[in-house]
Chains A and B, each alone.
Chain A
Amino acid sequence: MTEQFSNREGIKGMINPTRYGLHRVAYWMQRLSGLGLLAYLIGHIYETSTILNGKAAWNNMLSLTETPGGHMVLVLVIGMCVFHTGNGIRLMISEGGKGVGKPGQPEYPYRASSLNSKQRLCIWVSIALAALAMMYGAGVLFGD
């Protein structure tokens, strides 16, 4: 069956954070930050491996991270790391069946218990913590 016949949304649909509320935004941010951290890990391993080529190569690599662009990347990594951890803890607990509400008689207008206010609060707290950590990191890196 061709893709058009199957009408599957594909990656374009998967990464679209709009349409389905805060949980879908959190899903998108979790995936994005996960990929970002993976890219950072690979870059970090490459960066530290330069020490094998001697002191000059290591210093040369360090000078790259000590630029405003390098600092921006590190600030972003701090944010991704904090959000991914905070939201990841929420997901691990929820995926064990905790904090997703109790089944009951649904009543119109049918607000899903699994998308409850505690879940939303956890997402917002993860975002806020990430923002605070980024601000602190920026203060340290860009401060004199």
Chain B
Amino acid sequence: MATVEVPQEKKAESTIPAPTQSTPKTITLRISRFNPSENAETKFEEFKIPVQKWTTVLEAILYVKQNLDHSIAVRYSCRQASCGSCGMKINGKPRLACYTKISELESNVVTVEPMNNFPIIRDLAVDFKQLFSTHKKMKPFIVNEESEVLPGTKEFVQTPQDLEKFLQFSYCIKCGLCNSACPTMATDKSFVGPQGLAQAYRYTVDNRDQGKKERLKIVDQSHGIWRCHFAGSCSNVCPKGVDPAMAIQLLRGYLLGFRT
């Protein structure tokens, strides 16, 4: 069998200090269980699990799923706060499970529940049907009859200043945390919600778009933009810095005639 000789200098002891080892500790993970096909009662199940200082809540849930209880229903995908799938209520506040480290919660008991204001499918998985349908209603695309690129036409020119007006709002990953934190969503099931309103603003302010009138008509209704009372909770929980509360107030500026 061939052997590989390690060069002498590589064998020398490294001068780079070894990374500090994290002391693993044991926490209690309380998971909300709800299966509508079995019974309509929510109960909590507790699991003692080992965690490191870098362990995320999603990793903790997956540890339970792998080793202790395979039946836990949880939705996740990218594990890097890009897909918006793993939104849930963690210790009472809506957060992304993949983006929340257990160490930052500073508690030995971590409680995970499905996001509020969304129908529960099972355990931690919620139904996004309403969020997506509201998003579609806002016409989340550029409305412009001349937008087709044909031979002899060019792309639209946008300055960095034009881009900056909507870029922040285009970072929305549709995780639903804002809708879950919103106090109006808590009581009004027909409310458009901060996610939809922020997206309406994102396209309205885009200088390539010509659908402002249509979108303002959509949000200017009894369960639309006027039901927002600027509690700021949506912006408080947004994991991507979208700031829906700002978008809503700026959009309202158009309707009140402060902006054109």
Interface residues of A (CB under 8 A from B): 1-2, 4-11, 13-14, 19-21, 23-24, 26-27, 30-31, 91, 94-98, 100-101, 103-108, 110-115
Given A8-B186, A20-B231, A103 contacting B169 (CB threshold 8 A): yes
Task: Provide the bound-state CA to CA distance between A30 and B245, in Å.
Answer: 17
**Residue B120 at the A interface, CB < 8 A?**
yes
Task: Provide the bound-state CA to CA distance between A114 and B256, in Å.
Answer: 18
Q: A13-B186, A27-B232, A103-B247 are in contact. List 7 more A-B contacts (CB 8 A).
A: A5-B36, A8-B186, A19-B233, A27-B229, A100-B250, A101-B246, A115-B236
- Residue interface mask B144-156, A partner, CB < 8 A = 1: 0000000000000
Q: Are B246 and A106 in contact (CB under 8 A)?
A: no
Given A106-B241, A112-B232, A8 contacting B183 (CB threshold 8 A): no
Q: Are B166 and A19 in contact (CB under 8 A)?
A: no
Q: Are B120 and A5 in contact (CB under 8 A)?
A: yes
- Sample 11 A-B pairs with CB under 8 A, ordered by A number: A8-B117, A27-B183, A94-B249, A95-B256, A97-B250, A100-B246, A104-B168, A106-B243, A114-B246, A115-B235, A115-B245
- Residue interface mask B242-260, A partner, CB < 8 A = 1: 1101110111111010110
Q: Are A96 and B246 in contact (CB under 8 A)?
A: no
Task: Provide the bound-state CA to CA distance between A78 and B239, in Å.
Answer: 40
Q: Are A6 and B93 in contact (CB under 8 A)?
A: no
Closest to A116 in B: B246
Interface residues of B (CB under 8 A from A): 34, 36, 40, 42, 92-93, 114-120, 126, 164-169, 171, 181, 183-187, 189, 205, 229-233, 235-243, 245-247, 249-254, 256, 258-259
Q: What residues of B have a CB within 8 angstroms of the CB of A101 in the complex?
A: 243, 246
Q: Are A20 and B240 in contact (CB under 8 A)?
A: no
Task: Provide the bound-state CA to CA distance between A114 and B185, in Å.
Answer: 20
Closest CB of chain A to B115's CB: distance in Å?
Answer: 8
Q: Are A113 and B232 in contact (CB under 8 A)?
A: no
Q: Are B232 and A23 in contact (CB under 8 A)?
A: yes
Q: Are A100 and B241 in contact (CB under 8 A)?
A: no
Task: Provide the bound-state CA to CA distance between A111 and B42, in Å.
Answer: 35
Task: Provide the bound-state CA to CA distance between A143 and B86, in Å.
Answer: 59
> Could you say which of B118, B181, B247, B249 has the most chain A C-beta atoms within 10 Å of its C-beta?
B249
Task: Provide the bound-state CA to CA distance between A24 and B126, in Å.
Answer: 25
Q: Which of A9, A21, A96, A105 contacts B186 (CB 8 A)?
A: A9
Q: Are B252 and A21 in contact (CB under 8 A)?
A: no
Q: What residues of B have a CB within 8 angstroms of the CB of A27 in the complex?
A: 183, 229-233
Q: What residues of A have a CB within 8 angstroms of the CB of B181 in the complex?
A: 19-20
Q: Which of B34, B189, B246 contacts A113 (CB 8 A)?
A: B246
Q: What residues of A have a CB within 8 angstroms of the CB of B254 in the complex?
A: 97
Q: Which of A14, A20, A97 contacts B259 (CB 8 A)?
A: A97
Q: Are A115 and B168 in contact (CB under 8 A)?
A: no
Q: Are B164 and A10 in contact (CB under 8 A)?
A: no
Given A10-B186, A100-B250, A110-B241, A23 contacting B233 (CB threshold 8 A): yes
Q: Are B164 and A105 in contact (CB under 8 A)?
A: yes
Closest CB of chain B to A75's CB: distance in Å?
Answer: 27
Closest CB of chain A to B179's CB: distance in Å?
Answer: 11
